[in-house]
Amino acid sequence: MKTIKIGLLGLGNIGTGTYKTLDMNRAEIEKAAGTSVDIVKILERDVDRDRGITVPKEKFTSDPDDIFKNPEIDIVIELLGGIEPASTFMLTAMQNGKHVVSANKAAIAANYDKLIETAKENNVIFRFEASVGGGIPILGTLTGPLCANRFEEVMGIVNGTTNYILTKMTVDGLDYDTVLKDAQAKGFAEADPTADVEGIDAANKLSILMALMFDKYIAPDKIPTTGITHITSEAIEDARSRNCTIKLIAHARKLDDGEVDYKVAPMEISNEHPLAGINNEFNAVFVTGNAVGDVMFYGKGAGPLPTGSAVLGDVIEISKTIK
Ligand code: HSE
């Protein structure tokens, strides 16, 4: 049986989660892929950090060419985060004939067209399920089982940090600063939470969703974006008096003239709507298709194992094709 060999870029939280998920579920993953799957090289300088996994030291490298120029490697998994060098690394991997899997919403949203085009030019597969909604299988469902639809609308709670903050403000009546500190202490919010609380992370994810649903790529910095930093306890109470809950929504809608209207903003959602009940760090994506009607996807939008689950799902799909 062929072994699919993987080069992993980055062994941070998500890289470690992916490595752990492969160790934990190797039998299921290899059965589904129909091949054995092995992470053979890891681009990571921090060799000695205790990650709770055992990685043979010879797998580590600090030279990306040990992965890009390695003829044995079939798939490169990019889990570095940030736009650069991640984007350049993905393009280089493709130009060297490697299939690419990424969870990096910022890099994909910033360079979507270039990445898709380069994958096509080099006849390699590019998959990025984990970049939107973490473990929720949304992208593969939009482009697979739901692709017979003309999509009309998407409303997504696609950022766990802001949903956690808004939930605690709504349910426990706490103010924004107190909850943000609590979220940071629990590890939900980053030490620098700007991309989350200003809606930038949600705009990256909406950019990817729109590209797939409406075949319309809009760079995230062109998406009108408002975060949650100005949301007060009074605004939450006002919404409650109207039987609504404030949620940060990534929203896009096809207009009658074929154009797409899009934005990321805190919105008052009627408590009758299923998105109003999505709490804490959970994500949900509510999609309307002209044939299927309304569908909602719910689950863990972040975290090492849920994200690792989506990354390895992509690895399995590629392995099935190339084995
Ligand atoms: N910072 C992101 C969130 C991580 O809070 O949802 C997952 O993309």
Terminal-to-terminal C-alpha distance of the chain: 9
**Looking at residues 175-198, what average pLDDT do you find?**
88
Residue type (1 letter), 145: P
Distance 57 CA to ligand 1 centre (A): 30
| Contact status, residue 197 vs residue 229, Cβ threshold 8 Å | yes
Task: Determine the pLDDT at residue 148.
Answer: 98
Atom of ligand 1 nearest to the CA of 283: 6
| Contact status, residue 38 vs residue 5, Cβ threshold 8 Å | yes
Predicted confidence band at 12 (pLDDT cuts at 50, 70, 90)?
very high
Could you give the percent of the chain with pLDDT greater than 90?
95
User: Which of 254, 252, 151, 138 is CA-nearest to residue 203?
Assistant: 252
- 60-83, pLDDT tens digit by residue? 999 999 999 999 999 999 999 999
Looking at the DSSP bridge assignments, the partners of residue 18 are none
CA–CA dist 203, 149 (Å, integer):
23
**Looking at residues 105-130, what average pLDDT do you find?**
98
Question: Out of 105, 205, 247, 300, which one is annotated catalytic?
Answer: 205
Q: For this structure, is 20 an active site residue? A: no
Ligand 1 and 162: CB distance under 6 A: no
The answer on pLDDT for 190 being more than 90 is no
- Best of 136, 159, 311 for a ligand 1 pocket test (most atoms within 8 Å of beta carbon): 159
The answer on pLDDT for 38 being more than 80 is yes
Predicted confidence band at 2 (pLDDT cuts at 50, 70, 90)?
confident
**3-state SS, residue 297:** strand
User: Which of 128, 141, 93, 156 is CA-nearest to residue 310?
Assistant: 128
More confident residue, 188 or 115: 115
| Contact status, residue 284 vs residue 141, Cβ threshold 8 Å | no
The answer on pLDDT for 185 being more than 90 is no
